[in-house]
Amino acid sequence: MANPGLQSYAATDTDKARWDRFIAASTPETLCREWLPLQAEQLSGARSGLILLRSPRDGAFVPAALWPENTRDIRELAVTAERALLERRGIVQNSSEQPPGTAHIALPLEVGTTLHGVIVFAVAETRPLPLQMLMRQLYWGSVWLILMYVRQTESRSESRLGRATLALDTALLRLEKPSFQEALMAVTH
């Protein structure tokens, strides 16, 4: 027998479109822009959010996504993000400038020893869900972004492995053939 709670659930067209865009994202920036509002919905009391990613050009951390999009002042979020990047750990701290009862939670995006970026949210301190619980939810949600970097690393490794295999096969073929000319003919066929 089907679960009655599941039968009554029907995602809106807007929800479906947002999830479809998230799933179809093909660049880190697009994935971050689609992920951030979805994650904000999961964090009780989320007021604003920011993702900074390392620029491939100069290595600086630059905004990749902002929620809500009309947020004007990100200075305090940026300060918390910078602390999480410098300390390379999750941060939970009270806000000094935003309305009373606001805290920041931040989490660096790190794969191995490579720091790719940081996620930071301003959240209302709520008693039903303490800040540590919100941080735990952020850890769970961040796996989507971490996975993107793991896949990129894996793809680069597979590419390098393929080139190394080709070089080794070519060298072995050269050793098997009596002349360089015969080895070239074997490689091209």
Q: Does the structure show a pLDDT above 90 at 37? A: yes
Alpha carbons 120 and 57: distance in angstroms, whole number: 23
Q: Give residue-wise pLDDT tens across range 19-36.
A: 888 888 888 888 899 999
pLDDT at position 14: 74
Q: Give residue-wise pLDDT tens across range 38-61.
A: 999 988 889 999 999 999 899 999
Amino acid in the structure at residue 66: L
pLDDT at position 143: 82
Question: In sequence order, what are the residues at sequence separation of 6 or more whose Cβ sits closer than 8 angstroms to the Cβ of residue 79?
Answer: none
Q: Using alpha carbons, select from 111, 75, 81, 109 the residue that is nearest to residue 93.
A: 81
Structure tokens belonging to residue 79: 């300060």
Q: Does the structure show a pLDDT above 90 at 179? A: no
pLDDT (average), residues 84-98: 86
Q: What is the CA radius of gyration of the chain?
A: 23
Average per-residue pLDDT for the chain: 79
Highest-confidence range of 117-126, 139-148, 177-186, by mean pLDDT?
Answer: 117-126
Q: Does the structure show a pLDDT above 80 at 69? A: yes
